[in-house]
Structure 1
Amino acid sequence: MGRDRPPEAPGGHRVVVLDQRGHGASERRPRDVTREAYVADILAVIDRLGLHRPVLIGQSYGGHTALLAAALAENSGRDRWEEWAAIGVPVLAVLGRRGIVSTEQYDGMAERQPARLHGVGIPDAGHDPHLEQPGVLHAAIRDFLSGIPYGLPDPR
């Protein structure tokens, strides 16, 4: 989300920034760089900090890692669309209009999660809106979080 200054979170939310393995201040060349290892890292941070129903935000590979972590409880070897459909929480998809996700791919996401997917397209941004348009991205995140009541009851 921009290491120098994470976005301010609206009422009741707290921002925790995680450097994934091989990125930022984490170990430069970790032995295990599987998706499972990345997901395990996120789940370990959530557990260690005692976070209840955290909102996960990730960019590129980190976005997929967040998707897998969110779907983990219901995931039993599904393909990516089944993983996506299994997510039972609100999802903010932020796409740079010049990015690598096509309109058709986004439409496929929206068809499988029509009630939970909130999409934002950022003009003049490509694959890295957190670097190219950080103010616009942070505003989109704040708006999204403002619509999520803090302390939602666990649906299970």
Structure 2
Amino acid sequence: MNEILFSKPLKENAKDIYNLIKRGGVLDLNSEYLYLLQCTHFSKTCSVATFENEIIGFVSGYLLPNKNDTLFIWQVAVDERFRGQNIAFKTIMNIFNSNKDIKYILSTVSPSNKPSQRVFEKLANHFNTKIENETAFSLEDFLNSHEEEIQYLIGPINNK
């Protein structure tokens, strides 16, 4: 029986991650170089979901430089064929379970991105903690057309 596996990304996953984001057409597509950095320098705070050796999910994150107990989730991508199976949630949990010092999860989400909003609400419920929202970046903060970004702060999380 084939199952979905969750792990840290490897350097050789960067091209597939880039293509996953590109195919999805929703997230901002970053440079291939950035995905290489995420798979090498930031692999401890990123995670991939694979099915039959294919990358079907990716979560990128990093610890805030001035708050190393706060995980910032940057991008969450799931192949459209696998949506609705809690892959985003499980991929984030893979990061969380490997980093026991995390007390807060922080992210920004566009108002139209209902699936990501549901994932962060599910995380707050799972950890039985609060979620706070505020505008992180308004329309005026962007050069080109981009929705505002609402900050989601989940925590404190009891990670014991």
TM-score bracket for this pair, using the shorter chain length: 0.3 to 0.5
Q: Which has the higher contact order (CA 8 A, sep 6+)?
A: 1
Using structure 1 for the length normalisation, give the TM-score. 0.33
Structure (1 or 2) with the greater helix fraction = 1
